[in-house]
A and B are shown apart, each in its own frame.
Chain A
Amino acid sequence: MSMDMGSLYSDIILEHNQNLENKHELDHCTVSEHGHNPSCGDDLTLQADIENGIIKDAAYTGHGCAISQASADIMVDLMKGKSVKEALRLIDLFLSMIKREVTDDDKLEELEDAIALKNISNMPARVKCAVLAWHTLKEALERENNK
């Protein structure tokens, strides 16, 4: 594992880590899911307000490292206004990027700022930080889909 810290803790990641706009409880939500990395203590709760299959609003609360917080913030930005189906597809695309199954930047473009987390795949110890929010939302949305 060799990695330049500047490309991991890039401005985009540091900005999203410090951005608190998506870090709060929703006044009204239809789904809420708790995600936890027991080995490191990262802990977050994701909320979404879904109406007619569209994610009208989403937010998260909790605590964790810069990677987990930035990842959650980026994801919430990306998901607002998307349909549940579309959101699930983007989550899978993100997880495929982390697993290096999809590496083509053109295909990853629709992940927007989340592409900044691409390099985390070089750091096995930190992958779980990056994917926590996405796995948590996936679980919530799949339950919503099965209703």
Chain B
Amino acid sequence: MVMINVRKDFPILTKMHNGHQIVYFDNAATTQKPYQVIHAIVDFLENHNGNPHRGAHILSIEATEAYDAAKKAVARFINAKSPDEIIFVRNTTEALNLVARSYGEANLHAGDKIVIPISEHHSDLVPWQRVAAKTGAKLVYMYLDDTGHFTDEDLAKIDEHTKIVAFAAVSNVLGMKRPIEKIIQKAHSVGAIAVLDGAQSAPHMKSDVQKWDCDFYAFSGHKMLASAGTGVLYGKMELLKSMEPFLSGGDMIEYVQEQSTTFAEVPYKFEAGTENVEGAVALHAAIDYLEDIGFDAIEAHEYELTKRCLEGMKKLPYIHILGSTDPEEKVGVISFTIDGVHPHDAATILDSYGIAVRSGHHCAQPLGHHLHVEASNRASFYIYNTVEEVDYFLSMLPKVRKQMGLNA
């Protein structure tokens, strides 16, 4: 059993609530931050803060260096060919909007198809709906069977009319890993580009954009120990060069005249306005932290927690797990329902025992309609969670039923 001993690095994990130490199982929403990240932000603000790329003075230069170093770290982290293929944005949502607007709207026409799984969260769904509405392209869904898997019939929807295939490497509700390379190869075989949503994969498994051969990869720093407001869009250089800017203004320009502007090179063309440098610094520190632990250890640790949790839940007849119940297929995200207890009530009762889980539709309403589950609970783990916490959580599930006047 691989256990990662990092709890001492996370000050928030000692927090008490209602007489209980917090058990934080809402990591798919956002993760907690280690001292290494917190201190990196403080150090930047105390010692190096300036506006990057804009000044000749020492603080601007140091801010530029910190920002560029973060890009190099991200490029290494996802195995991009060059830091110039890395665009810093606010979050996964903004990254996907950038692709939808600057690539999708410019390249799609009536009769074209955009194919996405029904399990996508709204960030990778609503932007494509808008592209479809604007261009006359058709948004086509790949549905899932009862265990959360695609059928071959659904994969066949990726055909010669398809121009964009967008999908999450890991579903944020089902927690299931998708056959990344298989789908991307299929997309490329029909001449479509593949947009990979890494919001739920980047924190949990090794990202390798060259091996996967995805055209775009988007993820958020706050789901992998960095601060909120730090998002990444990776794009293949040739594609990025061909695209118009998403936002315009300061620092994304080359020359500005009264009536016209030429734009800066990629990636600066896509980074209008003053950048979130302390966010980039936080992301850099988070990447260093995760790479120190290593994804082999991270995956093994999360597998143990997921396996134990799934095994415990399967023993409770009133618990229903969404999607696959095979821990091999999951990355530490388990969504479930409890017979007779609405997910909001379950979350409130678990919260009273100090356990933080998500409740609701997890920003994936069409998946809920498809599965006939309007809302569910979601427990999601990360490197600092422990077997003891999983056992405590499992022991509280019968109490949730009892609290609502039902048999445990």
Identify the 6 closest CB pairs spanning chains A and B, nearest first.
A65-B344, A65-B342, A40-B360, A41-B375, A66-B345, A41-B361
Type the 1/0 row for B338-364, where 1 means its CB is closer than 8 Å to any CB of A.
Answer: 000111110011001000000111000
Taking a contact as CB atoms under 8 Å apart, the answer to whether B360 and A9 are in contact is no
- Please give, as numbers and ranges, the residues of chain A lying within 8 Å of B342 by CB-CB distance: 64-66, 69
Rounded to whole Å, the gap between the CB of B196 and the closest CB of chain A is: 27
Residues of B within 8 A of A69 (CB): 342
On whether A3 and B405 interact (CB within 8 A), knowing A41-B375, A66-B345, A129-B344, the answer reads no
Within 8 A of A (CB), among B94-122: none
Shortest CB distance B189–A (Å):
38
Any B CB within 8 A of the CB of A26: no
Q: Scoring B residues 224 to 247 as 1 if CB is less than 8 Å from chain A, else 0, what string do you get?
A: 000000000000000000000000
Main secondary structure of the interface of A (DSSP, over half): mixed
Q: By the criterion CB–CB under 8 Å, are B368 and A125 in contact?
A: no
Alpha-carbon distance between A65 and B365 when the two chains are bound, in angstroms: 17
Distance from B124 Cβ to chain A, minimum over Cβ atoms (Å): 18
**In-complex Cβ contact of B348 among A39, A63, A68, A125 (8 A):** A125
The interface of chain B, by Cβ under 8 A from chain A, is 17-18, 341-345, 348-349, 352, 359-361, 365, 368, 374-375, 403-405
Docked pose: A4 CA to B375 CA in angstroms: 24
Of A5, A41, A65, A129, the contact of B352 (CB 8 Å cutoff): A5
Name the interface size band of chain A. Answer: 20 to 34
Decide: A40 and B375 in contact? CB cutoff 8 A.
yes
Does any Cβ of B come within 8 Å of A8's Cβ?
yes
Contact present for B403 and A40 (CB under 8 Å): no
Known A9-B403, A9-B404, A66-B342: A41·B348 in contact at CB below 8 Å? no
Q: Considering the complex, which residues of chain A in the window 1-46 have a beta carbon less than 8 Å from any beta carbon of chain B?
A: 1-6, 8-9, 14, 39-43
A117 close to chain B: CB less than 8 A? no
Chain B, residue nearest A14 (CB): B405
A67 at the B interface (CB under 8 A): yes
Complex CA distance for A65 and B344, rounded to whole angstroms:
6
Is the CB–CB distance between B344 and A9 below 8 Å? no
Evaluate whether A14 and B348 lie within 8 angstroms (CB atoms) in the complex, with A40-B375, A41-B360, A41-B375 already known: no
**Taking the complex as formed, is A102 at the interface, i.e. its CB lies under 8 A from any CB of chain B?**
no
B365 touches A67 (CB 8 A): no
Nearest A-chain residue to B405, judged by Cβ = A14
Q: A1: shortest Cβ distance to chain B, in Å? A: 8
Q: What residues of A have a CB within 8 angstroms of the CB of B341 in the complex? A: 66
| Pairwise interchain contact B349-A9, C-beta atoms closer than 8 A | yes
Complexed CA–CA distance, A39 and B361 (Å): 8
Q: Which of A5, A42, A64 gathers the greatest number of chain B CB atoms within 10 Å?
A: A5
Name the CB-closest residue of A to B363: A39
Docked complex Cα distance between A63 and B374 (Å): 9
- A23–chain B nearest beta-carbon distance, Å: 14
B289 to chain A, nearest CB (A): 30
Further pairs besides A123-B348, A129-B344: 18, Cβ < 8 Å: A1-B17, A2-B18, A3-B18, A5-B348, A5-B403, A6-B403, A9-B349, A9-B403, A9-B404, A14-B404, A39-B360, A41-B368, A41-B374, A64-B342, A65-B343, A65-B345, A66-B341, A68-B344
Min Cβ gap B219→A in Å is: 23
| CB of B405 to closest CB in A, whole Å | 5
Contact between chains at A40 and B405 (CB < 8 Å): no
Which A-chain residue is minimally distant from B349 (CB atoms)? A5
The answer for the CA separation of A63 and B405 in the assembled complex, in Å, is 19
Residues in A with CB closer than 8 Å to B343 are: 65
9 A–B contacts, CB within 8 A, in A order: A1-B18, A9-B345, A14-B405, A40-B344, A64-B342, A65-B342, A66-B404, A67-B344, A69-B342
| Closest residue on chain B to residue A11 by CB atoms | B405
Bound CA span A126–B342, Å: 13
Chain B residues positioned under 8 Å from A1 (CB to CB) = 17-18
Contacts of B374 in A (CB 8 A): 41, 43, 63
Q: How far is the CA of A42 from the CA of B375 in the complex (A)?
A: 9
* Shortest distance between the CB of B125 and any CB in chain A (Å): 15
| A40-B359 CB under 8 A given contacts A14-B404, A63-B374, A66-B342 | yes
List which A92-145 residues lie within 8 A (CB) of chain B: 123, 125-126, 129
A39 to B360, CA, bound (A): 7
List residues 43-88 of chain A with CB under 8 A from any CB of chain B: 43, 63-69
CB distance from B93 to the nearest CB of A (A): 15
A66 nearest in chain B by CB position: B345
Q: Given B17, B344, B365, B368, which contacts A126 in the complex, CB threshold below 8 Å?
A: B344
B349–chain A nearest beta-carbon distance, Å: 6
CB of B359 to closest CB in A, whole Å: 7
Closest B residue by C-beta to A42: B344
Provide the residues of chain A in CB contact with B375, threshold 8 Å.
40-41
